[in-house]
């Protein structure tokens, strides 16, 4: 399942082929699903792709933060390996601090950036895909593609 939200330049001119793709990797297993879809889109659109590992903030123990960092780096390495199969170049970034801020910094001044995020539904009566997805839906000026298995 995927939910697409066109904003900014994509809403104004959806047929303009120029685009950049950002894949935030907050360290969850569903990040890989989003990355696979982003790589397929990048291949079809000949678009540059950036994989952004987001440091695990708020982990109570230093050892948990280091463990989370290793997972982030491993996910980035896996995405770079997968990109080879798609024949797509990937730029890797590591964001620090708040996840929303890390995404905003990575997007920079790009007008045609598609943010592709792997998500999973959170339990509850209201539809929720987590804080990062909710924050991007609420505050981002860029187009979003939320991918769930």
Domain boundaries, the chain: 2-11+26-42+51-107+114-147
What pLDDT shows up at residue 58? Answer: 52
Per-residue 3-state assignment (H helix, E strand, C coil) for the chain = CEEEECCHHHHHCCCCCCCEEEEEECCCCHHHHHHHHHHHHHHHHCCCEEEEEECCCCCCCHHHHHHHHHHHHHHHHHHHHHHHHHCCCEEEEEECCCHHHHHHHHHCCCCCEEEEEECCCCCCCCCCCCHHHHHHHHHCCCEEEEECC
Low-confidence ranges of the chain (pLDDT < 70): 27-28, 55-70
Query: So what's the pLDDT on residue 73?
Result: 75
Burial class for 29, CB neighbours closer than 10 Å (0-12, 13-18, 19+)? exposed
Check: CB of residue 136 under 8 Å from CB of residue 104: no
Establish how many alpha carbons lie within 13 A of residue 83's alpha carbon, considering only the half-sphere containing its beta carbon: 21
Which CATH number, 3.40.50.620, 3.30.420.40, 3.40.710.10, 3.40.50.1110, labels domain 2-11+26-42+51-107+114-147? Answer: 3.40.50.620
pTM confidence score: 0.85
Predicted confidence at residue 63, as pLDDT, reads 44
């Amino acid at each position: 399942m995927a939910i697409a939200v066109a904003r900014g330049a994509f809403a104004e001119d959806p047929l303009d082929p120029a685009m950049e793709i950002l894949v935030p990797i907050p360290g969850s297993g569903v990040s890989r699903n989003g990355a696979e879809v982003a790589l397929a889109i990048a291949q079809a659109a000949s678009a540059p792709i950036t994989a952004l590992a987001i440091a695990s903030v708020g982990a109570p123990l230093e050892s948990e933060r280091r463990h989370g960092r290793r997972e982030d780096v491993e996910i980035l390495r896996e995405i770079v390996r997968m990109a080879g199969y798609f024949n797509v170049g990937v730029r890797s970034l590591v964001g620090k601090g708040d996840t929303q801020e890390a995404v905003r910094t990575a997007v920079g001044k790009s007008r045609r950036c598609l943010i592709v995020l792997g998500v999973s539904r959170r339990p509850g009566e209201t539809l929720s895909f987590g804080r990062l997805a909710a924050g991007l839906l609420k505050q981002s000026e860029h187009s979003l593609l939320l991918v769930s298995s």
